[in-house]
Structure 1
Amino acid sequence: MNDNEYLEHTSGSGDPIGVYTRLPLSYQALYLADQTAFHDYAFVVLNDDEAAEEAVHTAMLRVQDNWDELLVESNMQQQVWAIMRQTVEEYRQDREDRAAIAQGLDNYRQGLHRLNSEQGVFAALAALPPQQFDAVVLRYILHYKPQRIAWYMGISEQTVAYHCRQGKQRLEQAVPTLLKKNGDPRTGDRSETDTKD
């Protein structure tokens, strides 16, 4: 059997045994030989066992997707490690981005309690349910785009839009003078255009 052939363990009924998937033997050998080093590297960068496991899994899926091209590389091991490093770096950056957004929300939430408003805007904002608070603050105060908010909150952009609408309605109900003073925010609302990534 060579690298281009796939090994398949089957029972008499033709069903796969266990969790074996059809993978080239050389791919399996590479993973088995380097899995500890891959995980150790990811753990050192990410400092989290679960995140390291996820990063290694994602990287190995990318290796698998490019396996035929990697087989003809002069230094396949170097290319595999490049994929591993890039994937782990993406996970590290992702964690930093999430931490920065969470810190921004936390700072705003903490500062909100120190602010005072004759109209009761800050109290109304603080009274919003958690997801509505996060969506409204990220969207209209910190100026993040809906897709970035959806990524952070782990929900769809439609759900972000829903939470923003619901949050705005609650604020308008709690503080009706907002509409009189500032006009209807829905008319000519340019908040969709000038936002962060």
Structure 2
Amino acid sequence: MTGGVQLPAGGGVPSRRPGRRLEISFEAFHEFHARKWLEYARLHTGDVLVAEKLTQAVYQQLADHWAHVLLQPSVDAYAWTVFKEHIAEWSLNNDRSTAAGQAAALAAVTRALLRKYGQQLALLEDRVNAHGAVSRIPERQCDVVVLRFVIGYSDDRIGALLNVDETVVRAHVRHAKRRLVAEFGVAQGPYEEG
């Protein structure tokens, strides 16, 4: 494809070809997101090999059309949409509900919050996997808390991926935490703000 970037079969760094500026920008994009998107895909698929294949397919699609991707109003938001479409397609093709992937992701969020806030959230760990409330967290809120607490993106980067302002990201975090706290019956503490 014109403007495409060639990825090696093993999922490594793109090869060197003419159109070096496109390659450099794609390499930088890939390098920045590769580990984080792999972890996100692993959380939603439950399998690191499936996650590797899924993210490789996403990066290949983006690389093949990188010149077009760069013309989008937000490269991050466009790429994130492509990534989420691949996850949704995999879920559909493998009879995996969005709620199942979301539950696994929120369990990871709970573990991350436990590491950060210790005993204040200890009750959540026992309740998160058995409680149906997890599936009632809106997908956007789930994505925000996973991207922030598990994957480690900053609020401004999450905003870029989701094509929203940082204040919206922080609001999603607050609402998701409040919902989790209310659903699991844990007394609110200082984690409410962070």
Q: TM-score range by the shorter chain?
A: 0.3 to 0.5
| Structure possessing the higher relative contact order (Cα contacts under 8 Å, 6 or more residues apart) | 2
Output the TM-score relative to the length of structure 2: 0.44
Output the TM-score relative to the length of structure 1: 0.44
Higher helix share: 2
